[in-house]
Amino acid sequence: DADVTQTPRNRITKTGKRIMLECSQTKGHDRMYWYRQDPGLGLRLIYYSFDVKDINKGEISDGYSVSRQAQAKFSLSLESAIPNQTALYFCATSRDGQYDTQYFGPGTRLTVL
């Protein structure tokens, strides 16, 4: 089984709809992250959480919210989806050592019509 899972893997929705993307991990990591990836722009950080009680905004948090329900779960919500939120969304986890890097989920491809 994958260590970091994301649901759904693909989603098509309409402008104005509320969408939730979910991420779960079995790696036992405290830190979790949400990124979006757009062609030519690379990965951009939306939100990150260093533990259940710690939530931080990333570079592009406007239009998004998150919930850290447990150490293993970190959800991303689009309260009112708009077309420019069409992107590939990745969840990632990490420990907190100097050389600890991040492990990514398989991604959610979101299309907002």
For another protein, the binding residues in 62-91 under the rule CB under 8 A are 88, 90
CA distances from 32 to 13, 82, 104, 111 (A): 25, 25, 10, 23
Q: Tell me which of 85, 105, 110, 112 binds another protein, using CB under 8 A.
A: 105
> In the range 21-40, which residues lie near another protein by CB under 8 A?
31, 40
What 8-state DSSP symbol labels residue 84?
G
**Binding residue count for another protein, defined by CB under 8 A:** 23
What gap in Å lies between CA 97 and CA 77, rounded to an integer? Answer: 29
- Told to check if 45 binds another protein by CB under 8 A, we report yes
Q: Is 90 exposed, middle or buried (0-12, 13-18, 19+ CB in 10 A)?
A: buried
Closest distance to another protein from the beta carbon of 64 (Å): 17
User: Applying CB under 8 A, which residues contact another protein?
Assistant: 31, 40-43, 45, 48, 50, 88, 90, 94, 96, 98-107, 109
